[in-house]
Homo-oligomer: A and B are copies of this chain.
Amino acid sequence: MRANKLRDLWKTGKAATNAWLTLPSSLGAEMLTHQGWDSLTIDMQHGQIDTAAMCAQLTAISTTGTVPLVRVPWNAPGDVMRALDAGAYGVFCPNVDTPEDAARFVGACRYPPAGYRSVGPARAALYAGADYIVHANDTLLSIVQIESAKALKSVDAIAAVPGLDMLYIGPSDLGLSLGREPRPDQVDPVVMEAIDRTLAAAKRAKLRSGIFCITVAYAKAMIEKGFDLVTVTSDSGLLSAGARMAKAFTA
């Protein structure tokens, strides 16, 4: 089975870069996969990417060695399994608040006896190799998003769910849930404390940790802090730079 380059990277002590795809465009995915990111995340939650577009983008990402990841819209086993069957090498589950949530999600990511994933890796086996079923449980990443006050309370119990690979912080939801601003690249002390607490929980449980950022500087600071994966930008974030260019003509 094709190795998961993120696992290899982490073994060398390095952090992984990540960018986010929100437009349902295969060509957009192919452009970003040639930019040198360690991984790309296809966002089916807040992006406009449905099952068909996800499949197309997984194929586009497979034209390079970038690791393809998917965020599912919600903690629903059918969506998790379809992302994996289509060749995702890791899945982000949003809004995981309890260990039960986490266990339900991780179970959908793992074949029996570790979980309850159903067998049928149509495209995944093309991408990863004929021995996919044998190695999938040890290769694919299951990632839960910690992004609420409720989740913070159970963060160690969530981190203890067998088979879980990473705690990933969604700073906008986390901020709003804590009564602070819903935004990325947080500096609010209340949110920063929650971020530190989550990172510490991941370290204690020997899990990987990740966080959504929108600038290079902030992402680098998060690597310094100890995060294993940092999201740095997104297709829509890059497009938004056009507004400044347009404004240059009206000044």
The closest CB in chain B to the CB of A230 belongs to B249
Q: Are B78 and A46 in contact (CB under 8 A)?
A: no
Q: Are A122 and B35 in contact (CB under 8 A)?
A: no
> How large, as a class, is the contact surface on chain A?
35 or more
Q: A52 at the A/B interface (Cβ < 8 Å)?
A: yes
Q: Are A19 and B118 in contact (CB under 8 A)?
A: no
Stretch touching chain B among A58-66, A153-161, A188-196: A58-66
CB of A150, distance to nearest CB on chain B (Å): 9
Q: Are A36 and B122 in contact (CB under 8 A)?
A: no
Q: Chain A 92-113 against B: per-residue CB contact (8 Å), 1 yes, 0 no?
A: 0011000000000000000111
Q: Are A56 and B26 in contact (CB under 8 A)?
A: yes
Quick one: given A59-B63, A123-B48, are A77 and B74 in contact (CB under 8 Å)? yes
Q: Chain A 19-36 against B: per-residue CB contact (8 Å), 1 yes, 0 no?
A: 100111111101110111
Q: Are B246 and A19 in contact (CB under 8 A)?
A: yes
Q: A226 at the A/B interface (Cβ < 8 Å)?
A: no
Task: Give the residues in chain B near A3, CB-CB below 8 Å.
Answer: none
Quick one: given A37-B246, A239-B239, are A52 and B52 in contact (CB under 8 Å)? yes
**What residues of chain A have their CB less than 8 Å away from a CB belonging to chain B?**
17, 19, 22-28, 30-32, 34-37, 45-48, 50-53, 55-56, 59-60, 62-63, 72-74, 76-79, 81-82, 85-86, 94-95, 111-113, 116, 118-123, 126-127, 133, 147-148, 170, 172-173, 176-177, 179, 182, 216, 219-220, 232-233, 235-236, 238-243, 245-250
